[in-house]
Amino acid sequence: MTSERTTLYKDKQNAKLMGVCAGIADYTGVNALWVRLGAIILAFSTGIAIPAYFIAGILLNKKPPHLYVEPDEQKYWQRVRQSPQRTAREIRARFRDVDRRLADVETYYVSSNPRLNAEIERLR
């Protein structure tokens, strides 16, 4: 099953022609200007770039308007598409940090409150 956030779409909101380059830019996180320049260079150097562009423009679905709620979410999904393993490591590191901080808070409150400490020990 493929998530709709990990699918390549054509981006009609930022489109110049059909939205294919804007969609590739959104998918990869690269500036659309560089993707467009690359497409122009490919169009002049190879004969297949122009037909491939129009075929992609016909076959790709339009990007849903509800795909990203905020810009941080868009950047997150771009990182997921670029390197899922790195993103999973970053998330695990964040959870370890949160767990460590919660343990510090628990230690602080338990050490300064003997009644709470006795209650936690009774629950174990």
Please check whether residues 46 and 103 belong to one and the same domain.
no
Residue 2 has pLDDT above 70, yes or no: no
CA dist 18 to 7, 31, 81, 90, Å? 17, 17, 23, 35
Do 76 and 37 share a structural domain?
yes
Domain residue limits at 40? 1-82
Mean pLDDT throughout 92-118?
Answer: 83
Same domain assignment for residues 13 and 74: yes
Cα 12 from chain centroid? 19
Query: Quick check: 104 and 111 in contact, CB under 8 A?
Result: no
Write the pLDDT tens digit of every residue in 26-39.
888 788 899 889 88
Q: What is the mean pLDDT of residues 111-123?
A: 78
Q: How far apart are CA 74 and CA 67, in angstroms?
A: 8
- The number of distinct structural domains making up the chain is 2
For residues 33 and 78, membership in a common domain is answered with yes
- Residue 49 above 90 pLDDT? no
| pLDDT at residue 1 is higher than 50 | no
CB atoms within 10 A of CB 10: 23
Cβ atoms of residues 3 and 39 within 8 Å: no
pLDDT at residue 69 greater than cutoff 60: yes
